[in-house]
């Protein structure tokens, strides 16, 4: 009996001990989880504090047609976001944030104004300064601004090629005008194309992005800018977890070119490529290596000069394996004119390494921007810089249906975004009056009064069209 009682006692003690140990272990695990969550929260706080000083709000003012008034313009204000990329005041934002604006201002972060001194949680609004538009690139929807400030906090552009699906990211900006907000999410997808065969790609994220966030940075956990928030897919007009950011490697190319020359020169090597499908491989008896084949080589192009041929299989571009034709075009898209790329190709049974120079796209209307100056070519009331249509300029354009006129070389800000003159447009007539020279255009525009109706007949890529608006 005593033995049975003793064994029962031991069993009870063992169960009590195990219960206590389990309870203690649960408490330890809970404390560890709380410590881990606390550290994670502290890291996000630190990251937000380090990034926020470089975030700015963009304030744009322009004019649109009055809603209930005839022949009248209404002033319209809009806001967006931007990020300082250089201590001397260079800022990247979206083109659609500032395009069409007559006046652009930047609200700097209040933290920068306070020089780091600790104060009230209700921060005063940052200093508002005027901004100059250095250049706009509509193809990527990016713009570079410059403010007359120095020693500004700034962020660095990271390497978007290293971004992975599922990666944690933070989105900074001024959604709905709420300046310097931050949201968190993950990378939903990389290299997202919004249109078939489009060279422009985006990083997709579920970090909440709303109107007003455009131009703000998408930041990784190291504080590097991996993208510029550009647009959302939404049925409600607000964030539904489908946002898109221009990848930082494309942003870097655009930013550096605009900062250096005021515009972006697009590059190519003069080939047309296709993805190798099973049918293509069988019909052409292609070797079972590589997935991209050269379908065409333009005569006298850099590709032809370097020795590339139709039927060559592209294995890699700058040591990056090429998996499809779209990837090849996308990787070339971020390269600058004058750069070189290294292609590894298979020709028959032989592998070759070929170095090819990137040239400027033929017929790129942006080329005209290098041929003008504000002193000679600016027409302030139209917000354009224009050139006389001479033989040299004509050879740079597609065949023209009308041989006289003035070429739009570059544009700053026009009255309405929906009615705009674009680089490469040839102005033939204004209000049925033939325009033969830049002086003709300047004189006619100078004779117009405010709110006069203006109708341009222009030729754009071989087609004639009317562009109409009211003079400001």
The structural domains of the chain, ordered by start, are: 52-147 (2.40.10.10), 160-261 (2.40.10.10), 267-360 (2.30.42.10), 365-470 (2.30.42.10)
The catalytic residue among 96, 174, 239, 248 is: 96
The catalytic residue among 141, 220, 364, 425 is: 141
**What separation, in Å, do the N-terminal and C-terminal C-alpha atoms of the chain show?**
109
Q: Are 126 and 237 in contact (CB under 8 A)?
A: no
Burial 405-422 (b: 16+ CB within 10 A, else e): bbbbbbbbbbbbeeebbb
Collapsing DSSP states into helix, strand and coil, what is residue 32?
helix
Question: What is d(CA 58, CA 108) in angstroms, rounded to the nearest whole number?
Answer: 9
State the pLDDT at residue 40: 80
State the pLDDT at residue 417: 46
Q: Are 5 and 13 in contact (CB under 8 A)?
A: no
Q: Are 282 and 429 in contact (CB under 8 A)?
A: no
Q: Give every CB contact of residue 71 below 8 A, 6+ residues apart in sequence.
A: 451, 470
Closest to 328 measured CA to CA, from 159, 197, 227, 226: 197
Rounded (10°) CA dihedral 250, 255, 258, 263: 20
428 labelled catalytic: no
Burial 143-180 (b: 16+ CB within 10 A, else e): bbbbbebeebbbbebbebeebeeebebbbbbbbeeebb
**Region at 270 (left for phi over 0; alpha for psi -120 to 50; beta for the rest):** left
Q: Are 152 and 54 in contact (CB under 8 A)?
A: yes
Global model pTM greater than 0.75: no
Collapsing DSSP states into helix, strand and coil, what is residue 26?
helix
The catalytic residue among 81, 160, 174, 214 is: 214
Please tell me what DSSP assigns to residue 335: P
Question: What is d(CA 43, CA 391) in angstroms, rounded to the nearest whole number?
Answer: 62
State the pLDDT at residue 237: 66
Closest to 178 measured CA to CA, from 82, 110, 81, 112: 81
Q: For each of the chain's 472 residues, which pLDDT tens digit applies?
A: 555 555 555 555 555 555 555 565 666 566 666 667 778 888 888 988 999 999 999 998 876 555 454 444 556 778 899 999 999 999 999 998 988 787 899 999 875 444 555 556 666 677 899 999 998 888 888 999 999 999 999 999 999 989 999 999 999 998 888 888 899 999 999 888 777 667 788 999 999 888 888 999 999 999 999 999 998 887 666 667 789 999 999 999 899 989 988 888 888 899 999 888 888 888 888 877 678 999 999 999 999 999 999 999 999 999 988 888 878 887 887 788 888 999 999 998 899 999 999 988 776 666 777 677 777 888 888 878 888 988 888 887 878 888 889 999 876 544 434 457 888 899 999 998 999 999 999 999 889 888 888 889 999 878 888 888 888 7
Rounded (10°) CA dihedral 194, 198, 199, 200: -30
Burial 36-50 (b: 16+ CB within 10 A, else e): eeeeeeeeeeebbee
State the CB neighbour count (10 A cutoff) for residue 181: 20
């Amino acid at each position: 009996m005593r033995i049975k009682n003793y064994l029962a006692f031991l069993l009870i003690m063992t169960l009590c001990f195990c219960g206590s140990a389990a309870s203690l272990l649960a408490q330890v695990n809970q404390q560890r989880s709380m410590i881990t969550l606390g550290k994670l929260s502290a890291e996000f706080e630190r990251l937000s504090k380090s990034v926020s000083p470089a975030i700015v709000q963009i304030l744009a003012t322009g004019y649109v047609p009055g809603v209930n008034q005839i022949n009248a313009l209404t002033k319209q204000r809009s806001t967006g976001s931007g990020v300082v990329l250089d201590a001397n005041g260079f800022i990247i934002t979206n083109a659609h944030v500032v395009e069409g604006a007559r006046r652009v201002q930047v609200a700097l972060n209040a933290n920068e104004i306070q020089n780091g001194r600790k104060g009230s949680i209700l921060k005063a609004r940052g200093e508002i300064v005027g901004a100059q538009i250095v250049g706009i690139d509509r193809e990527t929807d990016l713009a570079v601004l410059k403010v007359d400030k120095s020693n500004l906090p700034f962020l660095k552009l990271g390497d978007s090629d290293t971004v992975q699906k599922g990666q944690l990211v933070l989105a900074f900006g001024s959604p709905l005008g709420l300046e310097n907000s931050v949201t968190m999410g993950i990378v939903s997808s990389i290299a997202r194309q919004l249109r078939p065969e489009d060279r422009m790609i985006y990083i997709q994220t579920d970090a909440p992005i709303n109107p007003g966030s455009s131009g703000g940075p998408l930041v990784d956990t190291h504080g590097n800018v991996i993208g510029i928030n550009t647009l959302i897919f939404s049925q409600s007009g607000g964030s539904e977890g489908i946002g898109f950011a221009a990848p930082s490697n494309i942003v870097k190319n655009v930013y550096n070119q605009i900062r250096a020359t005021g515009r972006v020169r697009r590059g190519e090597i003069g080939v047309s490529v296709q993805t190798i499908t099973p049918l293509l491989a069988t019909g052409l008896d292609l070797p079972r290596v590589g997935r991209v084949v050269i379908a065409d080589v333009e005569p006298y192009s850099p590709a032809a000069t370097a020795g590339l041929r139709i039927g060559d299989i592209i294995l890699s571009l700058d040591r990056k394996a090429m998996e499809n034709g779209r990837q090849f075009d996308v990787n070339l898209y971020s390269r600058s004119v004058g750069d070189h790329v290294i292609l590894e190709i298979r020709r028959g049974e032989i592998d070759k390494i070929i170095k090819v120079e990137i040239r400027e796209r033929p017929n790129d209307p942006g080329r005209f921007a290098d041929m003008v100056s504000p002193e000679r070519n600016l027409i302030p009331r139209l917000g354009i810089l224009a050139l006389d249509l001479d033989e040299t300029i004509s050879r740079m354009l597609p065949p023209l249906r009308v041989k006289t006129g003035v070429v739009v070389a570059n544009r700053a800000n026009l009255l309405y975004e929906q009615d705009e003159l674009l680089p490469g447009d040839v102005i033939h007539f204004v209000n049925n009056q033939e325009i033969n020279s830049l002086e003709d255009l300047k004189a006619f525009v100078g004779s117009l009064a405010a709110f006069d109706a203006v109708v341009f007949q222009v030729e754009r890529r071989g087609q004639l069209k009317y562009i109409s608006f009211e003079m400001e």
